Copies of this chain bind each other. A is one copy, B any other.
Amino acid sequence: MPGAKRSRTTNSGPRWALASQAERFRSARAAHADETAEDYAEAIADLIAREGSARVTALAACLGVSHVTVIRALARLSRGGLVVVMPYKGVALTRAGRALAARAKHRHGVVLAFLRALGVPARVAETDAEGLEHHVSPATLRAMERFVKR
């Protein structure tokens, strides 16, 4: 008979498969939790470098969200000790914030250069890099760097 009835606890595949698959999903969810902080830190550092200051409105335009969304995100990052908000003056990065921005910027650059080296068109590479970067582990990042340097 088809779908031969197996006792309720039996399951064909390898015993470790399910648990470690769950771990993979957990990792992806954890990456998403860090994503906002990374993107904000990088955007703030860029704005300060390019315009001398990072204003809430500029951040909103840059990230493609409303200023309200930025204000609330900054409040969270501030509680987390990554930024200092100076109303009507701009947002500054703390030491930890600058460190995060530097790591994010570096990784972003590597991922982008990697995609370009792979032969992905510039515009597409730029778009994909913005999402991919947050899921690139240190080991994969090293592999990408190796590849970029031929």
Contact = CB atoms under 8 A, between A and B. Distances in A.
Interface string A57-72: 0100111110000000
Say what secondary structure dominates the interface of chain A.
helix
A3 interface: yes
A132 to B, nearest CB: 5
Contact of A137 (B21, B62, B128, B137): B128
A124 to B, nearest CB: 5
Interface of A: 3, 11-13, 18-28, 31-32, 39, 50-52, 58, 61-65, 115, 118-121, 124-132, 134-137, 139-140, 143-144, 146-147
A61 B127 contact: no
B50 A12 contact: yes
How many chain copies? 2
Given A25-B39, A26-B64, A135-B135, 8 more contacts: A3-B52, A21-B64, A27-B130, A31-B131, A121-B139, A125-B140, A132-B132, A132-B136
B135 A119 contact: no
B124 A137 contact: yes
A99 to B, nearest CB: 22
